[in-house]
Amino acid sequence: MQPIRCLAAAVAYLAVLAAPSAAGLPGLPLPVQQEGAVYRVLHWVLALWLVREINSLLNAWAENNWIFRSGKGSWDWPQETAVVTGGAGGIGAIVVQRLLSHGVTVAVLDVQPLSDIFTPEERKRIKLYHCDVSSPDAVHKAAEALRSDHASPSILINNAGIGRGNTILETPPERLQRVMGINLLSQWYTIQEFLPDMLKKRKGHIMSTASMSAFVAMAGQADYAATKAGLMALHESLTAELKHLYKCPEIKTTVVFPTWTRTALTAPLEKGIRSSGAAMVDPKDVAELMVSQILAAKGGRLIWDPIGVVPAIRALPIWAQALIHDHLAQVAIGNEITGIAK
């Protein structure tokens, strides 16, 4: 659709350029005194539309690793195996359900039992591997069992994550290591386990669940936000290595940035979130966005930001960034700090 929209914008803009005035455009019989103003408005509106569509087209091309063709033809969903960390509950469980509905074989790496949202039929089709993803040995053991039970996975969704609100001074070392291990280091371990087989097949998709906290860290959330910013760096480095080191741009990488999502972990913070003016989204919507990206065989960044301003916050003047941080400070520290997550 993007090439079609870009072509339509180009045709409309060229039509305006070719017309000597607004009166020369079909369907616009205007008084002479209004022709100049209408022509100028049309000229700039269509020019901006064309620039926007060209930018979108270039973004899509870049996110597809500068490959023109779609990679959807190489995927046969009933023949694919996906690994979902943290897939026993929350957003991950809904992602598992969506993948199952398309015939994908799903393996879940989690320390929790499967959620009650799964039907008996879905439970029969899910292979649950009890695995502490913060342990490289546990991840290797689960990966070996998975490869013995199924084909090597072509899809890796790193969704496991925890978060608890603590100030920097109140964060005990064991807690900090746990958050870093599950949210960030685990993704090194799973990528190291499953990427080599993807490289052999020259096909795969690696998806990481980050958070808007990667762009805007809040008081009482330093450990969580640091891991999510780290995931953004991991995604960018992995994408570059696949293209330039392994010469395998066919393997897609996606990093997801949900906003506040209505889960059990965000329940203690709902009052603060509402007072900040931020909206909360349904986990089903986030899961649908993630699975749609997999099915489209697209890579890139999925940012839950309808008006597209959050990633640009880092480019704002320091005083503007300070005002935003001040506004958001009470979301965590203004509530009982018991649990915080994407």
- Show which residues are catalytic: 224, 228
What is the side-by-side order of every strand in the sheet holding 205-209?
A: 126-130, 105-110, 81-85, 155-158, 205-209, 252-257, 300-303
Give the C-alpha separation, 133 to 194, whole Å. Answer: 13
Contacts of 261 (CB under 8 A, 6+ apart): 91, 280, 281, 282, 283, 286, 341, 342
* Listed residue (101, 82, 236) closest to 159, CA to CA: 82
**Cα separations (Å) of 219 from 182, 193, 274, 334?**
21, 35, 17, 10
- The helix/strand/coil state of 24 is helix
Q: Six-digit token pair at 54?
A: 């060209």
Give the C-alpha separation, 213 to 33, whole Å. Answer: 52
Task: Outline where the chain has alpha helix (H).
Answer: 2-18, 32-63, 90-101, 120-125, 136-149, 173-180, 186-201, 222-244, 270-275, 283-295, 318-328, 330-333
Instruction: Please state the φ and ψ torsions of residue 222, each to the nearest 5 degrees.
Output: -60, -45
Residue type (1 letter), 154: S
What stretch of H or E contains 256? Answer: strand 252-257
- The helix/strand/coil state of 157 is strand
* Listed residue (239, 259, 242) closest to 303, CA to CA: 259
Sign of the alpha-carbon dihedral angle for 79, 80, 86, 87: negative
- If you ran DSSP here, which 8-state letter would residue 239 be given? H
